[in-house]
Amino acid sequence: MAARGASAKYDCAVIGGGHNGLVCATLLARGGRSVVVLEANRGLGGAAATREFAPGFRVSACAHLLHLMPAALQRELRLDEHGFIAAATQMPTTALVADGAALARGAGDVGGADAAAYARYDAPMRCLAAALAPMLSRVPPRLGTHRWSDLVPLLQLGWRVRRLGTRDMRELLRIVGMNVYDLLEENFESVELKGALGLDAVLGTNFGPRSPGTVLTLLHRLAGQSTVGAAGLSQPKGGMGGLCDALARAAGAAGVVIRTSAPVARIEVDRDRASGVLLEDGERIAARTVISSADPRTTFLRLLGTGHLDAGFARRVANFRSRGLAAKLHLALDRAPDFTGLKPERAVGRLLIAPSLRYIEQAYNHAKYGEYSRAPVMEITVPSINDAGLAPAGRHVLSAVVQYAPYSLQGGWEQERARFADLAIDTLARYAPGLRGTIIASELLSPLDIEREFHITGGHWHHGDLAFDQFWMVRPVPGAAQYRTPLDGLFLCGAGCHPGGGVIGAAGRNAAHQVLHEAA
């Protein structure tokens, strides 16, 4: 493309108007910077957008449950003033069981022999997660420096772990590297309960319950959940796009210029420093600082180019694992689905198809070889029950994450998409027998579709696996783990950074702090 010359100059250009890009831009503007957000798509929100997939039927495109964004960040952004409304809070989780029973899951819900075991398991897990939670909203420290800004967070973490007391500290050290399969086997009898609890450790990841490190991913999720306050698991009004609309209004109120349909083709470099971006249509936008919420492989390999990176760093980025395994199924229904044995007051919540740890592990086994299981794992909501505006009067939408759907599917997604969608519907129909007859329209987004529509390499939930070697101080890769990158003036702010994916906003917030701190 031919460059058309500079049209404008800003202090900061943020690539991507997903929720992290919007959070980052708002905080930079409030810090006194002139900021432009450049979003490739026509709409904002990225993987946290709402889409109309059939006339009159709207649904959250990828993320459908808000359960990780800290209450303190929502207050800091004044989201209520900017029109954020929750259609439902404190949503219950229920494990669907094939014989028609539905197993309530959550504090106070579990009965029988597992009630006492649940209390024994849940309280210490929440305590450990709460000790780790402050890590999520801080820039990860660098190893090997003597700067207080790097030493203090390490000391604080050590102190919080020490304060757990000898028993919990020992337990944390014992379990943190374990797999969730063994942890749950140690604690519970109920096969269904173990399946439901195990799913939280692997949803959105490239793991099965027997994979090492799945207790860490579970603690990470619980740590995020411990910061959300009274809302618990919630559903934004208007779908997840409702949250991003409020974020966009907060950004606008802070003075951020937002441009959609503005795909960035290249990050520009002048004298070894980022100097702005070039849009695909040839427009050049000058900026002293460029902050990218695009995934790390897109940012470094496609937008910057390896010519500006040393070979070792470029290799680490190329090896950043980012093949997604989660697909999304959307159904337009002419009436609310009738799940056998599910009490109406629980239909408003989160429903799981993960009837045992073995079931989840077997579904994962197929994915390792580029296949999908005939029995996928699912996380389901019927958002129109809480928010009638998502569907025409009396009708409903169903939103389901379907896992494990490997990005590199044998046979290819063009061939297999319809078959996989059918399989997912058959799986649902085992729990809601009349479902098929009520379907008006359907849509399946495979990881490949998610990659294409939302510009996320591999269509990965977290922009890249959340595993020990891609975690915290080494996320996404050593040399870029504090949001700054080897190129002066270029920062990251998306899910590929600490603390990873999910609608949290912490990567955007931490990155803004880092940019403001560096310039101070």
Ligand X SMILES: Cc1cc2nc3c(=O)[nH]c(=O)nc-3n(C[C@H](O)[C@H](O)[C@H](O)COP(=O)(O)OP(=O)(O)OC[C@H]3O[C@@H](n4cnc5c(N)ncnc54)[C@H](O)[C@@H]3O)c2cc1C
Query: Where does this chain bind ligand X (CB under 6 A)?
Result: 15-21, 38-41, 46-48, 62-65, 68, 204, 263-264, 293-294, 298, 303, 326, 328, 401, 450, 454-456, 461-462, 494-495, 501-503
Q: Quick one: 140 or 204, whose CB is closer to ligand X?
A: 204
Q: How far is the CB of 19 from ligand X (least distance, A)?
A: 5
Strand partners, 353: 378
Q: How far is the CB of 9 from ligand X (least distance, A)?
A: 19
Strand partners, 105: 93
Task: Please report how many Cα atoms fall inside a 13 Å half-sphere around the Cα of residue 223, on the Cβ side.
Answer: 18
Distances (CA, A) of 278 to 34, 191, 261, 283, 288: 18, 54, 13, 6, 14
Closest alpha carbon to 85 in 233, 231, 244, 236: 236
Q: Are 292 and 299 in contact (CB under 8 A)?
A: yes
Closest alpha carbon to 288 in 488, 32, 139, 143: 488
Q: How far is the CB of 200 from ligand X (least distance, A)?
A: 12
Q: How far is the CB of 165 from ligand X (least distance, A)?
A: 31
Q: How far is the CB of 191 from ligand X (least distance, A)?
A: 25
Q: Quick one: 104 or 279, whose CB is closer to ligand X?
A: 279
Q: Would you put residue 288 in left (φ > 0), alpha (ψ -120 to 50) or beta? A: alpha
Q: Quick one: 326 or 352, whose CB is closer to ligand X?
A: 326
List, in order, residues 6 or more apart from 159 with CB less than 8 Å away: none
3-state secondary structure 190-223: CHHHHHHHHHHHHCCCCCCCCCCCHHHHHHHHHH
Q: Give dist(CA 441, CA 434) in Å, integer.
A: 15
Residue linked to tokens 């729990």: 431
Other beta carbons within 10 angstroms of residue 315's beta carbon come to: 12
Q: How far is the CB of 1 from ligand X (least distance, A)?
A: 13
Q: How far is the CB of 167 from ligand X (least distance, A)?
A: 32
Q: Quick one: 20 or 179, whose CB is closer to ligand X?
A: 20
Q: Quick one: 355 or 501, whose CB is closer to ligand X?
A: 501
Q: How far is the CB of 414 from ligand X (least distance, A)?
A: 19
Q: How far is the CB of 435 from ligand X (least distance, A)?
A: 20
Q: Quick one: 124 or 263, whose CB is closer to ligand X?
A: 263
Q: Quick one: 350 or 395, whose CB is closer to ligand X?
A: 350
Nearest residue (beta carbon) to ligand X:
18
* Numbers of helices and strands, H then E, in the chain: 16, 18
| Residue type (1 letter), 346 | R
Closest alpha carbon to 233 in 217, 222, 219, 218: 222
Preceding amide of 404 cis, omega within 30: yes
Q: Quick one: 103 or 401, whose CB is closer to ligand X?
A: 401
Q: Quick one: 438 or 485, whose CB is closer to ligand X?
A: 485
Q: Give dist(CA 49, CA 45) in Å, integer.
A: 4
Q: How far is the CB of 163 from ligand X (least distance, A)?
A: 29
Q: Quick one: 37 or 435, whose CB is closer to ligand X?
A: 37
Strand partners, 444: 329
